[in-house]
């Protein structure tokens, strides 16, 4: 598929995958529109139950251009991501 024929890409959901996809598309010169059924972005991270936390080391939740602060706990509490 040739990308030059694509005018706009629709992305369903504004969780981590949707937001990451939008960032990559925009960085490559493609226009996109995101659709979200709730009134908040963040997917499952937006409405976590109280005291939830990640179940993997913090490095697995970082983005190359958005690292977590050095003092972030290794198994980060969920509200840090909200």
Read off the pLDDT of residues 5-54 as tens digits, 9 standing for 90 and up.
888 999 999 988 999 999 999 998 999 999 999 998 888 777 766 677 77
In the prediction, which pLDDT does 22 show? 95
**How many CB atoms are closer than 10 A to CB 71?**
5
Q: Give the C-alpha separation, 27 to 76, whole Å.
A: 29
């Amino acid at each position: 598929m040739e990308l030059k024929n694509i005018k706009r890409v629709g992305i369903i959901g504004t969780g981590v995958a949707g937001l990451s996809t939008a960032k990559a598309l925009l960085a490559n010169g493609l226009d996109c529109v995101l659709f979200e059924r709730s009134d908040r972005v963040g997917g499952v991270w937006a409405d976590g139950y109280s005291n939830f936390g990640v179940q993997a080391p913090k490095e697995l939740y970082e983005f190359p251009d958005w690292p977590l602060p050095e003092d972030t706990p290794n198994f980060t509490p969920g509200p840090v991501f909200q």
